[in-house]
Amino acid sequence: MTLTRASTTMDRTDANNARLERKARLSWRRADAARRARPGLRGLGILCTALILLGSAPASAKPPRLTLLIVVDALGSDLLLRSKPRLKGGLARLIAEGAYYPTARYEYAKTDTASGHSTVATGANPWRHGIVGNQLVDRSTGKLIPIFADPDHPLLEAPPSSGDVSPRNLIAETISDRLRLATQGRGKSVAISAKARAAIPLAGRLGQAWWFNDTVGKFVTGTFYAKEFPAWVRTFNNRQLPQSYFNKQWTLSLPPTEYLGDDDRQYESDWNALGRTFPHPLNAGLSSPGEQSFSILKCSPYMSDILVELGKAAIVGEELGKDQIPDLLSVSISSIDFIFHQFGPYSWEMQDAMIKLDKSVGELIAAAEKAAGGKHNLLVVLTADHGGAAIPEEWAAAGMPSVRLSAAHFQDGLSKQLQARFGADLVAGVQLVEVYLKDKTIIDKGLDGAVVRRAAATWLANQPEVLTAVARDDLFRDSEPSFGLDALRRSQFKERSGDVLFLLRPFVTLSDAKDGADHGSPYAYDSEVPVIFFGKGVRRGIFRQRMSPIDIAPSIASMLEIGNPAMVEGTARVEAFSTGD
Ligand SMILES: [Zn+2]
């Protein structure tokens, strides 16, 4: 009952919010149009306005004209460190000339794409921004619901999708929203990715979000963000770059002797006929481009090149970096994650993808630098949303206590246990660190929910692969600091999270696939990522101190002099920036 009431109130609030958001977006669009229509005002006039708007910024410390935020999906700390000796392009340049934090750490339990991007964008952990993971479990049906699903805002010019389409569930303000508000809609913000759940949090409510849609083979957005395609996106889609890769193959950049290990490894995946060895065909066995060939294109480094091209089109189309009002271009590069899942972080495919990523990032930075009028007008930030574990069977073969377990393994065992004790089927679903129970059945049966949750936690805690398990009733009860509980607390958000939270032991992978690799734990291999600042005002060096990606948004906010996003938990990394200009 409580849950039903809460969600009704939530729906009403959401409807109000949606109305207000629509109004706000219209007003920002008018500001955008005004900015485009008055090119003559650029220069001194706009500079003065910007300085007044930006408060006490001294004339010598102007914010960078353009901020390029690059999130490389699944680029763990270890992966970048291992690849470093071979890098010569953009990644090498960021490391050599920037402030490089090799091992920043997400401090929450469920490290995945939606939560990671939302944390980077808001400067807060999931317990504040509400994006607890890629998907939620519907407690009555057991079905998975994408976290950015929103039936009220369908895709624009694409078949209806039950996938991610709008930021409605994002509670916190993002750095993109902050920029738009602080500049009264004149600072532009464009976020692009092959994944909706990456582009949406990076755009927040007030930026533009564009992501790749496998069904139509082009970049799309949701009606939350736009009612029609701007000319630059339409023109870009008309170039049909994704289609142009259909008859191509993914080939190695270096001679085979340069790659470590074997190309063909037992637990690599052969998803959609991509094959396990080089060269990889990109046609998915089809006779013409279609959904499967578009899916495997995302699992090749060439999708990064397409994103770089889209980034360049955004720079030109939205005139990013052209005047003194700061703009934000956020690019989430998804291919590394898809390649990681299919082939694992030690594969030839990953080694080759890193060499190609290095080039793509170099090209993106060069385009941003040109747009901003030089490095002194540009801020680049590079990070990742999470890292990733090795293929569990390979870790086991190397002698680590590693095992692959399915969610069904825990769901079946727990269901039997609760059935025996309470006489009902009570488990709705098991996610990475969460068990969702059937709340309606608990009420219908007259059971005490807390008793059921604690019984489930006790059973889970006794499983040999489980490190710790706790009923949500007890999550905040114990005030003793504890690695497991602290991480689980930061991952939990009201009724969106599971009824029981649990952590597997290190090297245990929860995966429903038979092969490939996964992520989602709080352990270093999943939670540690690089953070690099580069460009205007940045002190070069390697910074080995403790750092969390929640510090990224406040660092950018500090450089742009726009104030912090509303629910920020992190702090600006002052050691990475020089004072003045
Ligand atoms: Zn990811």
Q: Residue 193: which CATH number? A: 3.40.720.10
Distance CA 169, CA 131 (A): 7
Distance CA 56, CA 152 (A): 41
Q: How far is the CA of 170 from the centre of ligand 1 (A)?
A: 17
Average pLDDT over residues 533-548: 97
- Residue 240: CB atoms within 10 Å: 12
Q: How far is the CA of 198 from the centre of ligand 1 (A)?
A: 8
Of the candidates 37, 57, 77, which is a domain's last residue? Answer: 57
Q: How far is the CA of 112 from the centre of ligand 1 (A)?
A: 5
pLDDT score of 18 more than 60: no
pLDDT for 50 equals 42
Q: How far is the CA of 192 from the centre of ligand 1 (A)?
A: 14
Tell me, yes or no, whether 226 and 332 share the same domain. yes
Q: How far is the CA of 335 from the centre of ligand 1 (A)?
A: 10
Tell me, yes or no, whether 32 and 81 share the same domain. no
Tell me, yes or no, whether 93 and 43 share the same domain. no
CB neighbour class for 289 (10 Å; exposed up to 12, middle 13-18, buried from 19)? buried
Tell me, yes or no, whether 410 and 469 share the same domain. yes
Tell me, yes or no, whether 131 and 203 share the same domain. yes
Tell me, yes or no, whether 197 and 300 share the same domain. yes
CA distances from 73 to 112, 267, 530 (A): 9, 21, 11
Task: Enumerate residues 6+ apart whose C-beta is below 8 A from 494.
Answer: 130
Confidence of residue 31 (pLDDT cuts 50, 70, 90): low
User: Is 10 a member of any domain?
Assistant: no
Q: How far is the CA of 562 from the centre of ligand 1 (A)?
A: 28
Q: How far is the CA of 200 from the centre of ligand 1 (A)?
A: 13
Percent of the chain at pLDDT > 90 equals: 85
Tell me, yes or no, whether 158 and 258 share the same domain. yes
Digit-coded pLDDT (tens) for 317-351: 999 999 999 999 999 999 999 999 999 999 999 99
User: Is 16 a member of any domain?
Assistant: no
Digit-coded pLDDT (tens) for 387-415: 999 999 999 999 999 999 999 999 999 99
Could you tell me if 561 and 129 are in contact, meaning their C-beta atoms sit under 8 angstroms apart?
Answer: no
Q: How far is the CA of 408 from the centre of ligand 1 (A)?
A: 23
pLDDT score of 33 more than 80: no
Q: How far is the CA of 445 from the centre of ligand 1 (A)?
A: 39
Range of 23-27, 37-41, 425-429 with top mean pLDDT: 425-429
Tell me, yes or no, whether 356 and 425 share the same domain. no
Q: How far is the CA of 119 from the centre of ligand 1 (A)?
A: 12
Confidence of residue 291 (pLDDT cuts 50, 70, 90): very high
Please tell me whether the overall predicted TM-score, pTM, comes out greater than 0.75 for this model. yes
Q: How far is the CA of 390 from the centre of ligand 1 (A)?
A: 15
pLDDT for 59 equals 37
pLDDT for 23 equals 54
Tell me, yes or no, whether 292 and 166 share the same domain. yes
Q: How far is the CA of 111 from the centre of ligand 1 (A)?
A: 8
Q: How far is the CA of 385 from the centre of ligand 1 (A)?
A: 5
Residue type at 91?
L
Q: How far is the CA of 181 from the centre of ligand 1 (A)?
A: 28
Q: How far is the CA of 134 from the centre of ligand 1 (A)?
A: 9
CA torsion sign for 506, 510, 515, 520 is negative
Q: How far is the CA of 353 from the centre of ligand 1 (A)?
A: 16
Q: How far is the CA of 422 from the centre of ligand 1 (A)?
A: 38
Distance CA 140, CA 5 (A): 16
Confidence of residue 77 (pLDDT cuts 50, 70, 90): very high
Structure tokens at 104: 């920043």
Q: How far is the CA of 424 from the centre of ligand 1 (A)?
A: 36
Tell me, yes or no, whether 29 and 86 share the same domain. no
Structure tokens at 291: 């959904």
Q: How far is the CA of 387 from the centre of ligand 1 (A)?
A: 8
Q: How far is the CA of 74 from the centre of ligand 1 (A)?
A: 5
pLDDT for 58 equals 38
Structure tokens at 235: 């023109």
- Residue 374: CB atoms within 10 Å: 11
User: Is 223 a member of any domain?
Assistant: yes
Could you tell me if 100 and 357 are in contact, meaning their C-beta atoms sit under 8 angstroms apart?
Answer: no
Q: How far is the CA of 264 from the centre of ligand 1 (A)?
A: 25
Digit-coded pLDDT (tens) for 99-129: 999 999 999 999 999 999 999 999 999 999 9
User: Is 225 a member of any domain?
Assistant: yes
Distance CA 100, CA 116 (A): 19
Average pLDDT over residues 519-528: 97
Q: How far is the CA of 519 from the centre of ligand 1 (A)?
A: 9
Range of 30-44, 55-69, 329-343 with top mean pLDDT: 329-343
Percent of the chain at pLDDT > 70 equals: 89
Q: H or E stretch including 504?
A: strand 500-504
Structural domain for 271, as ranges:
66-391+523-549+558-576
Candidate from 29-43, 113-127, 302-316 with smallest mean pLDDT: 29-43
User: Is 265 a member of any domain?
Assistant: yes
Q: How far is the CA of 386 from the centre of ligand 1 (A)?
A: 6
pLDDT for 30 equals 53
pLDDT score of 79 more than 60: yes
Distance CA 451, CA 456 (A): 9
Digit-coded pLDDT (tens) for 176-230: 999 999 999 999 999 999 999 999 999 999 999 999 999 999 999 999 999 999 9
pLDDT score of 61 more than 80: no
pLDDT for 160 equals 86
Q: How far is the CA of 576 from the centre of ligand 1 (A)?
A: 26
User: Is 319 a member of any domain?
Assistant: yes
Q: How far is the CA of 380 from the centre of ligand 1 (A)?
A: 20
Confidence of residue 4 (pLDDT cuts 50, 70, 90): very low
Average pLDDT over residues 283-294: 96
pLDDT for 430 equals 95
User: Is 545 a member of any domain?
Assistant: yes
Could you tell me if 48 and 325 are in contact, meaning their C-beta atoms sit under 8 angstroms apart?
Answer: no
Q: How far is the CA of 4 from the centre of ligand 1 (A)?
A: 32
CATH number of the domain that residue 454 is part of = 3.30.1360.150
Residue recorded with tokens 């207000």: 20
Tell me, yes or no, whether 378 and 318 share the same domain. yes
Q: How far is the CA of 75 from the centre of ligand 1 (A)?
A: 9
Confidence of residue 21 (pLDDT cuts 50, 70, 90): low
For residues 150, 156, 160, 161, the Cα torsion angle rounded to the nearest 10 degrees is -50
Structure tokens at 28: 């920002």
Residue 102 CA, distance from chain mean position: 19
Q: Rounded to 5 degrees, what are φ and ψ at 62? A: -65, 145
Tell me, yes or no, whether 163 and 184 share the same domain. yes
Candidate from 9-13, 118-122, 162-166, 199-203 with smallest mean pLDDT: 9-13
Q: Which ranges of 282-382 does DSSP label H, i.e. alpha helix?
A: 291-298, 302-317, 335-343, 348-372
Average pLDDT over residues 24-35: 53
Q: Three-state SS string across 174-196, please?
A: CHHHHHHHHCCCCCCEEEEECCH
Domain count for the chain: 3
Average predicted confidence (pLDDT) for the chain: 91
Q: How far is the CA of 34 from the centre of ligand 1 (A)?
A: 37
pLDDT for 480 equals 74
User: Is 12 a member of any domain?
Assistant: no
Strand partners, 529: 104
Distance CA 130, CA 14 (A): 14
Q: How far is the CA of 316 from the centre of ligand 1 (A)?
A: 28
